[in-house]
Chain A
Amino acid sequence: MSVLELRDLHITYRTEGGDVPAVRGVNLTLERGDTVGLAGESGCGKSTIAAAVLRLLPKGTNVSGQVLLEGEDVYAMKPGRLRAVRWTSAAIVFQGALHSLNPVRRVGHQIAEAIRLHAPHGSAAHHTDARVGELLERVGLPAERAQHYPHQLSGGQRQRVLIALALACEPKLLIADEPTTALDVMVQAQVLALLEELQRDHGLSLLFITHDLSVLTHTCEKLAVMYAGRIVEQGPSQTVFNSPEHPYTRALAASFPTIGDPASRMNPRGLAGDPPDPSALPSGCPFHIRCDVATPECTTLDVALRDVVSPGAAPGRSAACVHVGVARV
């Protein structure tokens, strides 16, 4: 059974300015031990998906389609069941390590709280303390750090505490939403290595969300690139990054220069224009305004994600572009 399955997921925020469709029909499956990277610019809907998996969206948000955690529909769960599933089936690590921790509570206390509230059978206090120490050591921190307050820890250490917190109840799925974005390069490398190790040693499934395509390619086996609330390209991460099919992925991949590559020396490349406003999406393919291979039909025709059939394409690739798999540009 899949650890996570999203079936035709649509999410629309209700705001004073009207409805904002943030996610528009996403299908995604994670098997046990899978590492999937979800990439895209600000506002593409990737973080909305993270929040949707554990029903953390603001009240009144319209969700249709299905979110299945180990085959069970999250949106059909009763509150008690939902509380049991959070942390034990799936846990989230958020970006702002400082803001996700309570500043006036020792970090050990915060981890213990998660264990007490979510562990299947409540456990004795001394067991909990031992477990907190064990969790901290697993993320590479000395057990004594449990006595520290968040402000006494560095950014990298706080991010490790958040990972320990997420692991408190041995979840099968870890959702990491920009877990390294605010960190220094070296500390980022440390945290990524930790995530990889945990994933490998514990058979964790990992849904990794970031705008940094190069980090995802490094960490994840599969990659899904989102644009304007939809997945526009999907496949094995190395091939998606190194030979992108969708013009958007191509532009996104090109904005990560390869150091040492003469083609990118003194030649910064990016994507003209800004990410689209989800409340006022362009007609047709929402990317056509920024696309360098757009043709008149792109302004009216919005193609769904489909398998890439062009000769030489790696298996398991799909893209949502009228020009892909039909006539290569």
Chain B
Amino acid sequence: MSESVVELTNVRVQFDGGRVHAVDTVSLQVGRGEVVALVGESGCGKTTLIRSIIGLEPLAHGSISVLGESVGGRRGLRALRRRVQMIFQDPSGALNPRHSIYEAVAEGLRIHKVKGHEPTLVAEALSNAGLRPPHRYLRRFPHELSGGQRQRVLIAAAMALQPALLLADEPVASLDASIRGEILALMRSFVDLHGVSIIAVTHDLGLAWNIADRVAVMYLGRIVEVGPTEEVLRVPKHPYTQALLSVVPEVEGLPQQILTGETPDPSRIPSGCRFHPRCPLVASGEADRLGFGDRCRGVDLELEPEVGVHRVACHAVTFAAGATPTTNASGTATAG
């Protein structure tokens, strides 16, 4: 196992004086050169979680360290933000409309006092992000570029600082489907060539399949399933992950399981397993038939202890594992 670039331990983030539990006890490690997709519905806390990694949200509990250094007080925030860069969903909103593309990339270099010949660094960054030849873009303004090109500018600005970790919040959601693949390929190339790590927040499971080594599924502030992408997306264990996958048009052969109701409210987290009010196993009575329905309704649970790389927080899974003394063989499917 490679060293961790970022390590979150029992992180809790609360809003509104502790009434809203946006992130509720999350632990996650991301290794060097690893891409983790953080998936879930709006309001599940995925964006809050990555904001806490760059010190934008104070922690109510737990700790975060980046390259072994703790993220916390104001001290060292600038140094942290050079190592951790962020790209956002809407590239138009993230660029200053009155700054040229040159300025957009150079600003970060100046703030972080990066050594070297500035024009060369800017040109290199643009070129690496696929804006070639760079001199054609330097003097242009954001409104003269397409959405895909603007997102490339933001990626160039972020990567110019040679971060160890890139936090990407829905990096392609605002782009045309045809453009998404190119941007994702670009992000993946930075991982393969420069060893940057990425946490990509998304509701798009196709993105995870395209570029992520691991997937973490969040529900109401907590990770409910995490593991290698092939396992989580091919053999999902949590009923929530199964439902999410069943409504993706790109997955064939799964019977659609549309959860009713809106995305739940983090200020009113249900008792027991927080997913139980929407869980098909509970609604169908199957949980009761098999004898763990009361646990679903009454006992809160976290991810099962680390026995394998694929972990899940679900009473049905724990129950099945308890009923059969041997640990169930993981259904690893070999690609080929």
CB distance from B179 to the nearest CB of A (A): 6
The chain A residue sitting closest to B240, CB to CB, is A186
Given known A267-B210, A268-B211, contact A214–B179 (CB-CB < 8 A): no
The smallest C-beta distance from B97 to any residue of chain A, in angstroms, reads 19
A156 touching B262, Cβ below 8 Å: yes
Give the residues in chain B near A156, CB-CB below 8 Å. Answer: 262
Contact A274 B146 (CB under 8 A): yes
B211/A266 in contact, CB under 8 A: yes
Asked if residues A271 and B179 are in contact (CB atoms below 8 Å), the reply is yes
Whether A81 is near chain B, meaning CB under 8 Å from some CB there, is no
A184 B336 Cβ-Cβ under 8 A:
no
B181 touches A271 (CB 8 A): yes
Question: Is A28 in the interface zone, CB < 8 Å from B?
Answer: no
Q: Which residues of A contact B259 (CB under 8 A)?
A: 186
Interface residue tally for chain A (C-beta within 8 Å): 41
Interchain CB contact (< 8 A) of B177 among A157, A211, A264: A211
Chain B nearest Cβ from A312, distance in angstroms: 22
Binding-face segment, B23-31, B60-68, B114-122, B245-253: B245-253
Q: Does B185 lie at the interface of the complex (its beta carbon under 8 Å from any beta carbon of A)? A: yes
Among the stretches A163-171, A251-259, A318-326, the one at the interface with B is A251-259
Q: State whether A186 and B41 are in contact (beta carbons under 8 Å apart), knowing that A255-B177, A255-B178, A271-B181 are contacts in the complex.
A: yes
- The answer to whether B41 touches A258 (Cβ under 8 A) is no
Instruction: Output the nearest chain B residue to A274 by Cβ-Cβ distance.
Output: B146
Q: Any chain A CB within 8 A of the CB of B205? A: yes
Q: If A186-B247, A256-B250, A267-B210 touch, does A193 touch B258 (CB 8 Å cutoff)?
A: yes
- Beta-carbon contacts under 8 Å, B203-247 to A: 203-207, 209-211, 229-230, 233-234, 243-245, 247
Contact B209 A257 (CB under 8 A): yes
A215 touches B176 (CB 8 A): no
Q: Does A189 contact B (CB under 8 A)?
A: yes
Cβ B250 vs Cβ A189 within 8 A = no
* Cα distance A12–B257 in the bound complex, in angstroms: 44
Query: What chain A residues lie within 8 Å of B107 (beta carbons)?
Result: none
> CB-nearest residue of chain A relative to B145?
A274
A185, A187, A254: which has the most chain B beta carbons within 10 Å? A185
* Cα distance, A187 to B183, chains bound together (Å): 26
Contact at B262–A185, with CB atoms within 8 Å? no
A259 near B262 with CB under 8 A, answer no
Cα separation A257 to B181 with both chains bound (whole Å)? 9
- Which residues from 164 to 194 on chain B have a C-beta closer than 8 Å to any C-beta of chain A? 176-185, 188
A187 touches B178 (CB 8 A): no
From residue A154, how far is it (CB to closest CB) to chain B in Å?
5
Residues of A near B233 (CB, < 8 A) are 259-260
Q: Tell me which residues across on chain B come within 8 A of A211, comparing CB atoms.
A: 176-178
CB distance from A288 to the nearest CB of B (A): 16
Contact B41 A257 (CB under 8 A): no
> Quick one: given A185-B247, A186-B243, A217-B249, are A266 and B256 in contact (CB under 8 Å)?
no
Interface check A41, CB cutoff 8 A: yes
B181 touches A188 (CB 8 A): no
Contact A41 B176 (CB under 8 A): yes
CA separation between A214 and B248, bound complex, in Å? 9
In the complex formed, the residue of A with least CB distance to B35 is A266
Q: For A212, list chain B residues within 8 Å (CB).
A: 177, 249
A214 and B250 in contact (CB under 8 A), knowing A185-B244, A265-B335, A268-B180?
yes
> B250 contacts which chain A residues (CB < 8 A)?
214, 256-259
**Chain B positions within 8 Å of A260 at CB level:** 209, 233-234, 251
* In the bound complex, CA of A154 to CA of B41 (Å): 13
Q: Which residues of A are found within 8 Å of B205, using beta-carbon distances?
A: 185, 259
B144 to chain A, nearest CB (A): 11
B interface footprint on A207-231 (CB within 8 Å = 1, 0 otherwise): 0000111110110000000000000
| Extra contacts besides A156-B262, A269-B185 (19): CB < 8 Å | A41-B179, A42-B176, A185-B41, A193-B256, A211-B178, A212-B177, A213-B177, A257-B206, A259-B205, A259-B209, A264-B210, A265-B335, A266-B188, A268-B180, A268-B207, A268-B211, A270-B182, A270-B184, A275-B178
Task: Give me the interface of A with B, judged by CB distance under 8 Å.
Answer: 41-42, 154, 156-157, 184-190, 193, 211-215, 217-218, 251-252, 254-260, 262, 264-272, 274-275
Residue pairs across A and B with Cβ atoms less than 8 A apart, 30 shown, are A41-B178, A41-B179, A42-B147, A154-B263, A184-B203, A185-B41, A186-B41, A186-B243, A193-B256, A212-B177, A214-B249, A256-B177, A256-B250, A258-B252, A259-B206, A259-B250, A260-B234, A264-B209, A265-B230, A266-B188, A266-B210, A268-B180, A268-B181, A268-B182, A268-B185, A268-B188, A268-B207, A270-B178, A270-B182, A270-B184
